A and B are shown apart, each in its own frame.
Chain A
């Protein structure tokens, strides 16, 4: 199979994590991934293992909080979690804004405790 965009996402992610870790050992990378981002969590985790192999981030894992797709209706003000890709409010209006489900964020990192601190970068 051809490369998937999860690999590109993990490459970008690794750069961000490395910058914030600043040489310290990362155990967990916490992410928010919206349903509308077409990212498959299992594929993302697998891609992460490939991308961080033989790097200081090897052994770190992704914790993926999968965020549902939520619409806000401009006509009736209702918020609706949609479970199929029909972008229409229960009231029938299509004047809806997507207010959840498009996240693709690194929220935080868990670093290893003091005993396993990596030596400072030279």
Chain B
């Protein structure tokens, strides 16, 4: 099951020590059956302190700082997200080759480990700033605003029209973290299955553009393109879509035009 699952009756779900739902807003019934977090008697006669703070407030604050630096440098920023292997880097290579000198593009390349993707983008005229997210816990699954901020000094922001942030391949985590971007582009490949928008609605809903990649494989797959678009519209009714094949070059011009429009008008 995906992460977006509901239990209308608040109970009855069988998978591990999951959430305890609340039928009415604040009637807490603290039963943690088995496993971690078996705690009873939360009320101790101690003090209750009101907090009311956004947990990711610090990230949002840093994202705003990034946004303000981008605005000052007159650079527009797109946060590019997908699952691993959807073809972000190959598409990006094609985009850089097509867009050539007409747009000054910089890249922030996020990867859990290795510089393989950054190397694939080297030599195409765009400065690349690599962030390896591996640290401490073994590699973050997303870029956050602070990581992106750390990559900025290595880029000539003021000389760029467009900054493309290639996020870590993952359909869940990157959607939760604003990094200061103007727009979000998702690369979806048709090898992934038409149900994906319903399984990962948060990311698909947050996208301004969904690139439907590897479209050249359509004759070889059971992929139901109409069902995919229907699922996508359920989640994000007005999102722009472009069908591409990074391999044959189909649709790459349309992606370049979308990026140009973003760079020109935000």
Contacts and interface: CB of A to CB of B under 8 A. Distances in A.
Interface in A62-100: 62-66, 68, 83-88, 94
A58 interface: no
B44 A20 contact: no
Interface in A1-17: 2-5, 7-9, 12-13, 15-17
A109 B28 contact: no
Contact of B22 (A15, A66, A83, A105): A66
A63 B8 contact: no
Contact of A3 (B18, B35, B55, B137): B137
B141 interface: yes
Contacts of B36: 42, 45-46, 49
B51 A106 contact: yes
A92 B25 CA distance: 28
A50 to B, nearest CB: 8
Nearest to A60: B39
Contacts of A4: 141, 173
Interface string B228-240: 0000011111100
Contacts of B26: 65
Interface of A: 2-5, 7-9, 12-13, 15-17, 20-21, 24, 27-28, 31, 35-42, 45-46, 49, 61-66, 68, 83-88, 94, 104-113
Contact of B205 (A3, A87, A88, A108): A87
Interface string B32-57: 00011101001111111111111111
B21 interface: yes
10 contacts: A12-B58, A27-B46, A38-B173, A38-B175, A65-B28, A83-B6, A87-B235, A105-B53, A111-B47, A113-B46
B52 A107 contact: yes
Q: Tell which of B22, B47, B234 has the most Cβ of chain A within 10 Å.
A: B47
Contacts of B166: none
B202 interface: yes
A106 B51 CA distance: 6
B160 interface: no
Contacts of B45: 113
A104 B238 CA distance: 26
Interface string B180-214: 00000000000000000110011001000000000
B54 A38 contact: no
Contact of A94 (B4, B177, B197, B237): B237
Contact of A63 (B42, B112, B140): B42
A111 B28 CA distance: 18
Residue in A12, A17, A21 with the greatest tally of chain B CB atoms within 10 Å = A12
A16 B175 contact: no
A15 B146 CA distance: 15
Contacts of A7: 137
Contacts of A108: 48-52
Given A4-B173, A63-B28, A85-B198, A110 B138 contact: no
B55 A12 contact: yes
